[in-house]
Amino acid sequence: MTRLLGYSRFWVYLFVVLALDLVTKEWVQYHSGFPHGLYPPEGGAEVIPGFISIVFTTNLGAAWGLFAGFSIFLVALAVVALFAIYGFRKHLELDRPLMQAGFGLMVAGILGNLIDRLRFGYVVDFLDVHLSFYRWPTFNIADSAIFCGVGLYLFWSVKADFAARRKAKQRPVIE
């Protein structure tokens, strides 16, 4: 039990973000009344006019619809990623609070989309961001969590690498 408590930030991020992801997908799919695949003004709702809308779409693939029709592959990839994170947790420095935040976000995102794939055969997406010249592919909280988790991990890894290099370059002072 003590080992699990050592990862307390990881568990908090994982459960809070996973719950938020599942609840929002449930609402959009079953309770919002938004028709599938329609964008404002025909469907959905604008949150910030001309920039962010809430819609109801589904994705049979991964990011940008890549690997559509390869659900078994995407499920297997998610399971392998989860086992790899667990297996390499010491090497990934999950005992560090900052790494726990990043990996808590990543695991929550992986699990959120995995649950959708296993339940429905697709992933529910609902956040639509668009600029006057580009409409970003619709995404969900799980996708955002994966993106932010990877970003945090890369930031902290690069920061730690720079700190280690700086420390190695410092010469000891001889008195």
Active site positions, annotated: 125, 143
Q: List the end-to-end C-alpha distance of the chain, in Å, as a whole number.
A: 49
Going by C-alpha positions, the residue among 109, 99, 100, 103 that lies closest to residue 159 is 99
Order the strands of the 45-48 sheet from edge to edge: 45-48, 52-59, 123-129
